């Protein structure tokens, strides 16, 4: 089979590596274990919506200049509620068992950005974990603790402590942006997350920041009420699950210092041209016409560390982060041609229909990422080939 270096042309090799099947049985068995999840839990924000019953804090049925905070009843509900005044141009949507408020944000008939207002007990893993979860949803690499202060800015004129992150990501043909505010209140943490097309977010940023200044603790008489809920269709997700990974500052300039790797790809994996961000890309089709995508990237250094990158991938599938204790159960560790390889597997996304098989490879002073993402059935069918592919990794 032909072998390819990352600095040169990547050409797929014929056939699959079959003789390694017995050696891979422990890995396949290990990958079936469910990862232990940390004590905190962040449900999906696009779960089925519900129509609120009568209550003084319910979301209005039509746009209004002053919109009190909808109060939903769910398990482990935070103690303190908030109120806010939304711009008249924003279009309220029905709240949900997870969202305290929901709006379409934008002008005219769209396109719109999605404003999700949620609240959870405790600190939900801490500011760094939440910012990196959001970065993962935009296909951005995680940041370190030292970078957090610059990533979260206080909101001038706010009635309570509010900090907001401004993140841009997505792909070249579908740029996305997110404005996400963290509001601690009464032993809980509220999130006001505006996500959508970059152009819409840019146009709405000033109005969103002004909106944040209207947030205030709710009067006790309002916070005490909780409406009932009835199921309704779920809203469409704002952005896709796959896309280019944006490197940290200086990564492209330093890419020449990244030591190369070699591999052997199955003949039926369709190679696509490499790019400034990706060392290689493969499309893995199935007989039905569906396909998964394998993205291969590399960056200098640890890129935030193993836990941060695993949680970045979990965020891309709309899964909650895990903690260091749960990482051991989520990762299967291999040694391939002297290379340490950490393999993870997750299912998630809208309706749990997506699957991610990922491998993190430390080589020299760089970190390589091999991320196979796509429809659950396609990725599951390609899992043996992906595991065999990992066994071909080697230094040049």
Task: Outline where the chain has alpha helix (H).
Answer: 21-31, 127-137, 148-151, 198-212, 220-223, 306-316, 324-330, 376-390
Residues 173 and 277 in one domain: no
Token readout for 14 is 């014929």
Domain hosting residue 324, numbered range: 4-39+239-390
Any idea what the CATH number is for the domain that residue 268 is in?
Answer: 3.40.1000
> Using an 8 Å Cβ cutoff, are 81 and 71 in contact?
yes
Res. 220 pLDDT band, cuts 50 70 90: low
Instruction: State which of 174, 208, 231 marks the end of a domain.
Output: 231
Res. 249 pLDDT band, cuts 50 70 90: very low
Residues 62 and 158 in one domain: yes
**Inside any domain, residue 396:** no
Any idea what the CATH number is for the domain that residue 123 is in?
Answer: 3.40.1000.10
pLDDT over 50 (residue 245): no
Four-residue CA torsion sign, 207, 208, 213, 215: positive
Number of structural domains in the chain:
2
Give the tens place of pLDDT for each residue, 316-354: 888 999 999 999 999 999 999 999 999 999 999 877 789
Token readout for 242 is 């796959």
Residues 68 and 214 in one domain: yes
The lowest-confidence range among 8-17, 40-49, 204-213, 228-237 is 228-237
Omega prior to 111 cis, within 30 of 0: yes
pTM of the model: 0.43
pLDDT over 80 (residue 64): no
Task: Outline where 153-262 has alpha helix (H).
Answer: 198-212, 220-223
**Inside any domain, residue 395:** no
**Inside any domain, residue 45:** no
> Using an 8 Å Cβ cutoff, are 384 and 370 in contact?
no
Residues 84 and 206 in one domain: yes
Rounded Cα–Cα distance for residues 208 and 223 (Å): 24
Residue 48: the pLDDT is 33
DSSP secondary structure code for residue 107 in this structure:
S
Residues 323 and 215 in one domain: no
Res. 276 pLDDT band, cuts 50 70 90: low
């Amino acid at each position: 089979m032909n072998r390819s270096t990352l600095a040169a042309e990547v050409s797929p090799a014929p056939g699959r590596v079959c003789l390694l099947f017995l050696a891979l049985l422990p890995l396949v068995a290990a990958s079936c274990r469910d990862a232990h999840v940390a004590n905190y839990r962040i449900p999906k924000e696009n779960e089925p919506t519900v129509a609120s019953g009568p209550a003084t804090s319910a979301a209005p049925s039509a746009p209004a200049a002053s919109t009190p905070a909808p109060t939903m009843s769910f398990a482990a509900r935070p103690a303190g509620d908030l109120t806010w005044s939304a711009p008249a141009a924003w279009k309220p949507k029905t709240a949900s068992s997870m969202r305290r408020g929901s709006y379409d944000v934008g002008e005219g008939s769209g396109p719109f950005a999605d404003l999700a207002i949620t609240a959870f007990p405790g600190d939900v893993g801490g500011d760094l974990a939440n910012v990196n979860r959001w970065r993962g949803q935009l296909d951005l690499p995680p940041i370190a603790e030292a970078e957090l202060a610059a990533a979260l800015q206080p909101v001038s004129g706010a009635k309570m402590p509010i900090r907001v992150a401004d993140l841009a990501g997505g792909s070249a043909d579908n740029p996305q942006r997110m404005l996400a505010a963290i509001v601690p209140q009464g032993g809980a943490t509220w999130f006001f997350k505006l996500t959508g097309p970059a152009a819409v977010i840019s146009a709405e940023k000033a109005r969103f920041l002004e909106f944040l200044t209207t947030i205030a603790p709710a009067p006790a008489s309002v916070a005490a009420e909780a409406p009932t809920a009835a199921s309704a269709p779920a809203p469409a997700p704002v952005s896709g699950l796959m896309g280019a990974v944006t490197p940290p500052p200086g990564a492209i300039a330093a890419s020449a210092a990244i030591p190369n790797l070699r591999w052997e790809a199955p003949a039926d994996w369709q190679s696509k041209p490499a790019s400034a961000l990706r060392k290689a890309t493969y499309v893995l089709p199935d007989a039905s016409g569906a396909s998964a995508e394998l993205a291969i990237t590399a960056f200098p250094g640890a890129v935030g560390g193993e836990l941060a990158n695993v949680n970045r991938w979990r965020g891309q599938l709309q899964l909650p982060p895990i903690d260091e204790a749960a990482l051991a159960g989520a990762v299967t560790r291999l040694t391939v041609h002297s290379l340490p390889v950490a393999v993870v597997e997750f299912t998630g996304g809208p309706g749990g229909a997506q699957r991610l098989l990922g491998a993190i490879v430390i080589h020299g002073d760089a970190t390589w990422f091999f991320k196979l993402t796509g429809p659950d059935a396609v990725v599951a069918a390609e899992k043996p080939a992906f595991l065999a592919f990992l066994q071909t990794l080697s230094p040049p």
